Amino acid sequence: MNIYLIGMPGSGKTTVGKSLAQKLAYTFVDLDAQIERNALMFIDEIFDKYGEQTFRKLETEALIEVKSCDQMVVSTGGGIVTNNENKEHFNGVVVYLNTELDVIEKRIKNDFPRPLLQQQSLDQLFNKRMMSYIFFADVIVDNDHQLEKTVETIISRLKEEGYLK
């Protein structure tokens, strides 16, 4: 079984994913990094050169690639939920990292430029995606505080729900 982390840009999917994978002795995969390797260009370059629609197609292809694997923690891109078809490509449990917007703003303040946040505010993006995150999620965990606490909460919730032994 794979564990997929979804959430807003800056919600901590990669950071939590690496720690969670290490704790569970799973393989960690960053879907955005896989897209960049497959396309031989950075995500912002894909957006600039080919647009969001092409990026979303590459995102779905990368998701399908990991579908056949097992015991992976997969950090997805924040917009994976914008394509409802992607829901059928998750072969495991989907964990939504619910993170307060003010926490996200602090985290991404000095981060690399995120293509969609150049066109709209974080609030606008959240309002567009919130219901999709909930629709996709099997488990919802808050990630506003300490990394270890978040990881332990995920493991605990996955055990409670019967996804982990």
Question: In the chain, pLDDT over 90 holds for what percent of residues?
Answer: 70
144 annotated as belonging to a binding site for a ligand: no
Range list of β-strands (E), 99-157: 139-142
51 annotated as belonging to a binding site for a ligand: no
User: What pTM does this model have?
Assistant: 0.91
> If we measure between CA atoms, which residue out of 39, 20, 85, 33 comes closest to residue 48?
39
114 annotated as belonging to a binding site for a ligand: yes
37 annotated as belonging to a binding site for a ligand: no
What is the rounded average pLDDT for all residues in the chain? 90
78 annotated as belonging to a binding site for a ligand: yes
Question: In the chain, pLDDT over 70 holds for what percent of residues?
Answer: 92
Over residues 83-97, mean pLDDT = 95
77 annotated as belonging to a binding site for a ligand: no
For 2-160, which CATH class? alpha beta
